[in-house]
Amino acid sequence: MEEAQSKVLYSAVQPSGNLTIGNYVGAIRNWVALQGQFTCFYAIADLHAITVRQVPAELRRHTLELAALYIACGVDPARCTLYVQSNVPAHAELAWVLNTMTYVGEMERMTQFKDKAAKHAENVNMGLMAYPVLMAADILLYQTDVVPVGIDQRQHLEIARDIAVRFNNRYGETFRLPEGYIVKEGAKIASLQDPLHKMSKSDENPNASVYLSDDRDTVIRKFRRAVTDSDNAIVASEQKPGVTNLLNIYAAFRGCTVAEAEKEFAGKGYGDFKLAVGETVADVLAPIQAEQKRLLADKAYLSDILSRGAQAAAHTARRTLLKVYRKVGFYRGE
């Protein structure tokens, strides 16, 4: 346990609108458990958010809402470093240096760049292309050992490692090489309307995603409309992606295994099953929503937490940045 506690873990989420139950199960809920095992840096990634056009006032509001949500879900600022990415200038500063170590062809091959460029054809900016370099800077600044990653983030972690190796080979040992931390259970929650694809906060179909801000009636209504199939058996299988997705969600929020969920609903119809899933999810979300609302009523408290978090993060990040500046030959007046 002592060895695990000495390791550094980094993770971040963008404040770009409503988070889904997939974000909760796949990321934020795991942060709560991991903060007891690692030295954790948890960021609100607003620098990443502006690669897509944002309404400034909404971005500021979403940033504070996300901070309150983190804490409402159980992230403890006393046990981790919680901060806003843009409040630590070293992120952008290191990203510039790492840009000079990164090749255009590498960025053009990134899957998420291709996807986002297709979705935002009117705004294919350099920030969108260099997104993985900033992510590499986020990770490498804190000499991170482990990064919780989903399937869609593995490519970004790999490029971060490639950049670190390239820098270390050129300038000498500087960055620690981060490893991926794969959360197996509940790592992927699919769309309620298209269970072959991941649930997304940007899905155009309002019934496809369940948001952490959805009220009880909305949650239950969305689950009632969830796609299943013509076979009424409530079992998990590749041939039943809709039912399997609902079983995964139920198990994740009920705290049981999929096999246990299958036994619980054996012989029952889809109507009862969907209602039970919806009610279970709503029961978990209700206290989180209430606590988030309470925290948002005290903006001074949230601002103080984020300010102290930024100071702590900046202290650690600065040590790495100064080492990088010295290695590349920047004159510091020393």
- φ, ψ of residue 234 in degrees (nearest 5): -100, 80
Structural domain includes residue 141: yes
**Which residues have CB under 8 Å from 22's CB, separation 6+?**
188, 189, 198, 199, 200, 209
Same domain for 10 and 108?
yes
**CA angle 208-211-217, nearest 5°?**
85
Same domain for 6 and 21?
yes
Same domain for 166 and 309?
yes
Same domain for 143 and 264?
no
Structural domain includes residue 267: yes
User: Residue 323 catalytic?
Assistant: no
Q: Residue 151's Cα: distance from chain center in Å?
A: 12
Same domain for 139 and 239?
no
Report residue 129 as tokens. 């292309």
How far, in Å, CA of 12 to CA of 85, rounded?
Answer: 9
C-beta contacts of 119-123 below 8 A and 24+ residues apart = 119/202, 120/52, 123/52, 123/53
Alpha helices in 228-298 (DSSP H): 241-254, 258-264, 270-296
Q: Which segments within 85-226 are labelled E, that is strand?
A: 146-148, 179-181
Query: For residue 279, what are the CA distances in angstroms to 8, 65, 282?
Result: 37, 24, 5
Catalytic residue among 116, 222, 240, 274: 116
- What's the mean pLDDT when you consider all of the chain? 90
Same domain for 135 and 238?
no
pLDDT at 113: 62
How far, in Å, CA of 166 to CA of 140, rounded?
Answer: 13
Structural domain containing residue 270: 216-293
Structural domain includes residue 210: no
Angle between helices 154-171 and 111-119 (to 10 degrees): 120
pLDDT at 223: 97
Sort residue 333 into left (φ over 0), alpha (ψ -120 to 50) or beta: left
pTM: 0.88
pLDDT at 89: 98
How far, in Å, CA of 250 to CA of 260, rounded?
Answer: 10
* Strand 8-13 with 39-44, pairing: parallel
Considering its fold, how many domains does the chain have in total?
Answer: 2
Same domain for 10 and 133?
yes
Give SS3 for 27: helix
User: Residue 201 catalytic?
Assistant: yes
Signed CA dihedral, 6, 2, 32, 82: sign only: negative
How far, in Å, CA of 125 to CA of 218, rounded?
Answer: 36
Same domain for 249 and 320?
no
Catalytic residue among 7, 184, 188, 198: 198
Neighbouring C-beta atoms of residue 119, cutoff 10 Å: 10
Q: Residue 237's Cα: distance from chain center in Å?
A: 27
Report residues of the chain scoring pLDDT below 70.
Answer: 1-5, 111-121, 123, 150-152, 183-187, 334
Same domain for 34 and 137?
yes
pLDDT at 334: 60
Same domain for 38 and 152?
yes
Catalytic residue among 7, 201, 323, 327: 201
123 DSSP 8-state letter: G
Same domain for 115 and 6?
yes
How far, in Å, CA of 165 to CA of 173, rounded?
Answer: 9
User: Residue 7 catalytic?
Assistant: no
**CA angle 113-30-259, nearest 5°?**
105
Residue with tokens 């695990």: 4
